[in-house]
Amino acid sequence: MEAPPGGVDDMTRLSYLHEPGVLQNLATRYELNEIYTYTGSILIAVNPFQRLPHLYDTHMMEQYKGADFGELSPHVFAVADVAYRAMINEGKSNSILVSGESGAGKTETTKMLMRYLAHLGGRSGVEGRTVEQQSNPVLEAFGNAKTVRNNNSSRFGKFVEIQFDKTGRISGAAIRTYLLERSRDTQRYKLADARSFHYLNQSSCIEVEGINDAEEYLATRRAMDIVGINEEEQEAIFRVVAAILHLGNINFAKGTEIDSSVIKDDKSRFHLNTAAELLKCDCDNLEKALITRVIVTPEEIITRTLDPASALVSRDALAKTIYSRLFDWIVEKINVSIGQDPNSKQLIGVLDIYGFESFKINSFEQLCINYTNEKLQQHFNQHVFKMEQEEYTREEINWSYIEFVDNQDVLDLIEKKGGLIALLDEACMFPRSTHETFAQKLYTTFKNNKRFAKPKLSRTDFTIVHYAGDVTYQADFFLDKNKDYVVAEHQDLLNASSCPFVAALFPALPEETAKSSKFSSIGSRFKLQLQSLMETLSSTEPHYIRCVKPNNLLKPAIFENTNVIQQLRCGGVLEAIRISCAGYPTRKTFYEFVNRFGVLAPEVLEGSNDDKIACQKILEKMGLENYQIGKTKVFLRAGQMADLDARRAEVLGRAARIIQRQISTYIARKQFVSLRRSATQLQSFVRGTLARKLYECMRREASAVKIQKNVRRHKARVSYLQLQEAAITLQTGLRAMSARKEFRFRKETKAAVHIQARWRCHRDYAHYKNLQGAALTYQCAWRQRLARRELRKLKMAARETGALKEAKDKLEKRVEELTWRLGLEKRLRTDLEEAKAQEIAKLQETLHDMQQQVEEAKAMIVKEREAARKAIEEAPPVIKETPVLVEDTEKINSLTAEALLQTERQATEAAKKEYAEAERRNEELIKKFEGAEKKIEQLQDTVQRLEEKATNMESENKVLRQQAVAISPTAKSLAAYPKSPFQLKTPENGVAPYGEVKPLPDITPISLNPKEPETEEKPQKSLNEKQQENQDMLIKCVSQDLGFSSGRPIAACLIYRCLLHWRSFEVERTGVFDRIIQTIGTAIEAQENNDKLAYWLSNSSTLLLLLQRTLKTTGAAGLTPQRRRSSAASFGRVFSGMRASPQSAGRPFLASRLMGGIGDLRQVEAKYPALLFKQQLTAFLEKIYGMIRDNLKKEISPLLGLCIQAPRTSRASLIKGSRSQANALAQQTLIAHWQSIVKILTNYLNVLKANYVPSFLISKVFTQIFSFINVQLFNSLLLRRECCSFSNGEYVKAGLAELEQWCIYATEEYAGSSWEELKHIRQAVGFLVIHQKPKKTLKEITNDLCPVLSIQQLYRISTMYWDDKYGTHTVSSEVISSMRIMMTEDSNSAVSSSFLLDDDSSIPFSVDDISKSMTEIEVTDVDMPPLIRENSGFTFLH
């Protein structure tokens, strides 16, 4: 194809690089809202005159950050990124030159550049505002004006220096301004009565459509606050501006003296007084300064009056001087606010300056502007020529004969000594010089200069031949506008102002300067500023942005070719093209050249030549000359591309004729075959008609026979059915009678069995309760006996020393209390047994009554049966003696059966009522029985708590006994008692109330036997040291990789069981939680070790699940419902077994807590450290999850850039014989990148599964990863035109199929909804590969093909699509227009129009989600490590 339907991104890739081709490409892209286009390294920006926010948001900045130039679609961010990367990599300052005529969008482009640079340099994130946010509102308010070409035109040049430090961070900034047009300075300001001011009403335009003056004023005030202008300074600024407006309304009339003037009228006098009041200067001195002039001579000082015309010039000069000083002060204030870095060695300069101007009337301002553009154009031409040289040098071709046309002669005409500016300054210094004398001087001086011309019939106009065209200037006001000196009277007047702000604008001049008014020229000053600017630009690496205004109506979707081509000439774009055309305008890579012109020499492709040799042979065969072949490209001279295209069209035409001939043959053959097929079908139809007639006769004969057969069969069957129905009726009656008898018998049997079962259950339960009570009584007596025996031993030990008397008293009191509690327990049990005996007696009475009622009902049923049987026995003789028909006998039998059935029904209903009443009473008794059982359970819980307290007291006694052992002579005998690790949480026994074990008070051992041997056993370690050792052992084990036991992480189960046993969740202060968290944090420091991260992800999620289902955050002390205990005897046996083992005295109910898994866990009331530990563990879980996810993203990110665009196939694919083999090989090569991604995903899945990470977390990881793949691929597709092709869509579709196969392999348990996350890229690729796109309607596309994609996304894909395989077109123009209308509506309704997707990096789950998704975990049978099993402090884990 010549060019894609949507144009090309870089116009150097156009086959025909000339003005029509450039204009057509820009118009095509502008119609598709593609406002940016490259011409080499030059960016052309066409003003869209509408909001396109999706092009400038943060997501777009991130896409262009670090991307190679030309890799993505053209954008202003790409130019800024190239400048920034060049500055960082090469250490050299860069500059970006933004030019264009008024209304082309230079200021907005500059804003976007500074925003992006602030995004890269990080200034906006630190200070909260960027350079353009600080400076632009104020500078636009005081330096912009409405012109005939733009509603908000910048009337000054601006060069922003953004300074960077060595790390690439913004360290400072500065703003330089050039040539403020003071002749148009006050058009921008509108006061309450704007039309009454002379400086505001000259343009007859007070209000601008679409601009709210109130909002603009508030924005200016806010910007002033930001840049550091305080309220007083703002008030002074507005006073000065108002004073300038009042000065403009002062008019003068002729005075009484010759060449004198006075204030014209009272209105002018009012404005004079108001201006003096605002400037805070003397009114008389102001009037005197306006209408007089002081001339200083060596002899004397002469005061001269001014005529009204001169007084008006003096008034305007004063207003311009005040405004110029005010603007300079504001710029300096902004620079101070932004802050400059004097130590910065690198900077990026952004130049926002006026473009070339050529109006009907061109004055001094246009000359300065065009002079600036001539200098910039010379710099631009040199840069473009330099790039051409670099291109030719890089390709190693001959380029020495290329000519370069310079515009130095125009610059000499303007700036050289004796040039136009010098003559203008000379004329301004002579008082008698006029514009006519100045023009005559120009005519005389430059009459032989080819760049200068004198128009006919004009005495003051002159024409300069600029690079962009001829411009005729009117010299009428050149002398007045070039003068830039301050009148001494004006200087003295404003310096003496009582307003400090005004006086600061006009500081006192040195004495020698004040005595003489030294001439100052705007042209000379501007020349010096321009030289300084060019020196700055020459020291930097330039980048160019040319802004273009598509129409003068300032409306969107209008492209005026004449206007645009003129701007391209003025912007130097066509000059750059001319330079390219002077050398080799057409450049094609070897691949593109062979792909396009390989048909001219097909024999070249059959060999094994590379692309370079193939290009050489094709050019030699065509007989072309003066071309150049570089290292990677073919360079063609102007016209050679057209010659090759003509020959290519001829070859393709011959091939088309051959194809047409073959197609014509095929069509004729097809018509013949169709005619022959029709004749055959007609013959077949005739033969079929004859055969059908014969068949109809045969069918009628067969039908008659079949009807006769069916009639005979019907008669026989009717007779048979009548006989069968009679037999069935008789059998039904007999079987029904037998079934009813069987039903009654089974019903009675079932009721009897049910009653017997209830009675046996009650009898056995009562017997069981009696045995249970006896066992409890015996156990209490036995425990009391043991306690008394222990008490006697303690008393004997206490008698041997007097030092334990106090301890003995305490033990006796506690034993008495225990005895009292046991007595209370006995009384409670006695009361309980009495209550149960009463309830059992009542139940037995009720059961006895029910049995009697049942027996009575049975007796009644038996009597009724006997009566019915007697009635039946008496009836038959009467029936037998009377001869009746069979039908009457059947009726009698049925009546008899009905009578019996009615009697039985009545009896059954009565029995049912009695049974229902008995059931109701039985239910009431069951409810009472359940209530009694609940009371019993409550009493059992009370007994359980009492026994727990008794155990605690026993542990306390053992602690006291251990203290007594150290000083008792019978220590050896008492030391044989087992030690209890249990610690009672009371201050008396040495354990702190916060759960920390505190050391016991020092007790000085009293040795009763001074000759005691030294080998006697040392005192036992304190409990807090033992607990510290246990914690150290736990941390030591956890820091190792303990692995898994039956899929359960050992470390998590070990931590949980230890914390639960130590009751760490219930203490107010402990350090074990911090040590565990520190251990986990140390283990995951190696962020690249995915196996380690997966191991701790599994452990942290399991531990968090256990904590979530165990810890209770409320203040209630109640417990979760436990399983109902089957009997009090089983509880007694469990408790007795625990009491029987001294080692279990310190862990009450631990076994019951761990029995049955998580479902049977008893919740504990968590204190603050436990809740904080849970929060920290949650944070670590989320951190580890994020680290694994980010590691996976880092691994697949480089591959995604290779997966979005298919690599170019080999030249061998063009050879007809080897096409299929080459395609198969290429397909294997193309899919390798996708297979690498699949391999990475599989590796991560295996690592996570090997560490038993919950499937819920695994699915979340891969869901977010697939979302990341979707975002990266989809955004790259929208930003790169070469990716929106048919063949590339097939490539990406094949890769997505690989991902789909991986999802199937991973199963839904681990992949989750990963495949659904690729919906955007799937639908986009599906749209690329469908055929017949022009036939698709917008409704079909949005509803059926791509329902997920937005209108902005569909519009961009549709406009960027190109078919490199079949040459088909994108959707129809009607669909494109409808999309554009919908996008405009969305933009007007403030709906976000960003077409890029966001990457969600949040944590997609909560703790509750983990708790709901994970199954219950059994922690009691986990195999503990040997280091724990061998330690005596962890026996509770066995």
Q: What are phi and psi of 95, to 5 degrees?
A: -140, 150
| 105 annotated as a binding-site residue | yes
| 496 annotated as a binding-site residue | no
- Catalytic, out of 94, 153, 968, 1099: 153
| 106 annotated as a binding-site residue | yes
Between CA 673 and CA 808 the distance in angstroms is: 124
Active site annotation includes 830? no
Between CA 1115 and CA 851 the distance in angstroms is: 53
Between CA 1079 and CA 1085 the distance in angstroms is: 10
Q: Name which of 530, 594, 493, 66 is nearest 243 in CA terms.
A: 493
CA 1172, 1173, 1177, 1178: dihedral to nearest 10 degrees? -30
Q: Please list, in sequence order, all residues whose beta carbon lies within 8 angstroms of the beta carbon of residue 1378, skipping any fewer than 6 positions away.
A: 1338
The 8 Å CB, 24+ separation contacts for 80-83 are 80/113, 80/116, 80/117, 80/120, 80/348, 81/116, 81/120, 82/41, 82/543, 83/348, 83/541, 83/543
| 100 annotated as a binding-site residue | yes
| 104 annotated as a binding-site residue | yes
- Identify the three-state secondary structure at position 473: strand
Between CA 1351 and CA 1342 the distance in angstroms is: 8
| 1118 annotated as a binding-site residue | no
Active site annotation includes 802? no
Between CA 1232 and CA 1294 the distance in angstroms is: 11
- Catalytic, out of 94, 102, 1099, 1144: 102
Active site annotation includes 536? no
Between CA 17 and CA 641 the distance in angstroms is: 10
Using the Cα atoms of residue 814, residue 815, residue 821 and residue 823 in order, give the sign of their dihedral: negative
- Catalytic, out of 41, 130, 144, 150: 150
Active site annotation includes 990? no
Using the Cα atoms of residue 383, residue 388, residue 392 and residue 395 in order, give the sign of their dihedral: positive
Q: Name which of 585, 578, 594 is nearest 392 in CA terms.
A: 585
Between CA 1187 and CA 1257 the distance in angstroms is: 13
Q: Name which of 1140, 1159, 1138, 1141 is nearest 1150 in CA terms.
A: 1138
Tokens of 1242: 């599989």
| 66 annotated as a binding-site residue | no
Q: What are phi and psi of 986, to 5 degrees?
A: -135, 145
Q: Name which of 397, 240, 393, 402 is nearest 330 in CA terms.
A: 240
Output the 3-class SS for 528-583: HHHHHHHHHHHCCEEEEEEEECCCCCCCCCCCCHHHHHHHHHHCCHHHHHHHHHHC
Cβ-in-10-Å burial (0-12, 13-18, 19+) of 447 comes to: exposed
- Cα 701–Cα 706–Cα 711 angle in degrees, nearest 5: 135
Active site annotation includes 448? no
Active site annotation includes 357? yes
Tokens of 826: 């006995």
- Identify the three-state secondary structure at position 4: coil
**Which whole-number Å values give the CA distances from 1006 to 806, 1000, 1001, 1009, in the listed order?**
15, 17, 15, 9
Contact (Cβ atoms closer than 8 angstroms) between residue 597 and residue 643: no
| 1098 annotated as a binding-site residue | no
- Per DSSP, 68 falls in state P
Active site annotation includes 132? no
Instruction: State the Rg of the chain over Cα.
Output: 53
- Catalytic, out of 7, 172, 355, 523: 355
Between CA 1090 and CA 923 the distance in angstroms is: 63
Between CA 564 and CA 100 the distance in angstroms is: 11
**Which whole-number Å values give the CA distances from 331 to 97, 178, 258, 1319, in the listed order?**
20, 11, 44, 52
Active site annotation includes 107? yes
What is the helix (H) or strand (E) element at residue 37, kind and residue range?
Answer: strand 36-39
- Residue found under tokens 């891969």: 1262
Residue numbering of the annotated binding site for ATP: 100-107
Residues assigned a catalytic role: 102-103, 107, 150, 153-154, 355, 357
Residue numbering of the annotated binding site: 100-107
